[in-house]
Amino acid sequence: MNSESRVLPELRPVLAQFPGFQLEENLELSRSYLSGPPIEKSEHVHTTSRMIPSVAGEILVKVYEPAQRTDAKLPAMLWIHGGGYVMGHPDMDDALCERFVQAAKCVVVSVDYRLAPEHPYPAAIDDCYASLTWMTGEAELLGIDLDRIAIAGASGGGGLTAALALMVRDKGGPALVFQMPLYPMIDDRNITASSHEITADNTTWNRTNNLAAWNMYLGDRTEDSEVSPHAVPSRAESLAGLPPTYTCVGQLDLFRDETIEYVARLAQAGIDVEFHLYPGTFHSFEGMVPQAEVSQRASQSYVDAIARALNP
């Protein structure tokens, strides 16, 4: 039975209309698929954009916070958008970031990191680390509680979340209480069963896309060149010392097996981890078909996880 026939009926119509990404043939067209119409902003959330310093000059971050704030310090989360390291922009997650603010009563900083292939590794992770250190360094200005800092992201952003958690551990800070790499892109080797299963052109992320995106992100390298776990988190020798973790993945997602392996390794390293596997769902299903029951259940679960972690 092929994976397409196993997709839940409520998700099939949208998948049937999706043209599929063509990263090598037309990257700009593929990037345009992720820029949806602007959302109607919530009156309960105040959003500002600002430029902050990074390794190669200034980068954009968007800051979301409750519109009605008191002097009380709030927990904070760095959000890292998806797009396979080669696509995406913070604007595409405005609604989700507003939802996090309201559910967790927190400040969210969303980073516009540099994209490959124009800016291969380590540009993206450098920008994410710079955003985290800016956020914690400006704790007084932002009114945030340094004892309640989390990082999160989805897909490529989930991969950067996992990489950032490793980088923070290896550099000795800033301190994190939680990480949430959702269906993360964390293994460039493409040797798992699920990486061979998901090959259809019209799915949201297939083997062809994954191979192309990793090549764009990692740039020129030889077969035996050593790859940093800050680039490819699955290559980390140890996951000890990472913060408590939440993750999820669809059973028909190319990243299924690397996510399951990551969860198992976290548990074996003594890290508290919550994991959800959703049958009949493909990569980024809850973003593609947000009105579906399974999508609402999945997104509510991870929104609740952030709220619990930041408000223990």
Which amino acids are annotated catalytic?
Answer: 155, 253, 283
- Do residues 259 and 184 touch, judged by C-beta distance below 8 A? yes
Contact partners, residue 201, CB within 8 Å, separation at least 6: 20, 208
Distance CA 193, CA 31 (A): 28
Which among 114, 105, 106, 99 is positioned nearest to 61, based on CA atoms? 114
Distance CA 209, CA 150 (A): 29
- Do residues 62 and 71 touch, judged by C-beta distance below 8 A? no
Which among 285, 265, 281 is positioned nearest to 273, based on CA atoms? 265
Distance CA 129, CA 55 (A): 10
Which among 91, 225, 85 is positioned nearest to 162, based on CA atoms? 85
Contact partners, residue 143, CB within 8 Å, separation at least 6: 65, 69, 71, 72, 73, 74, 107
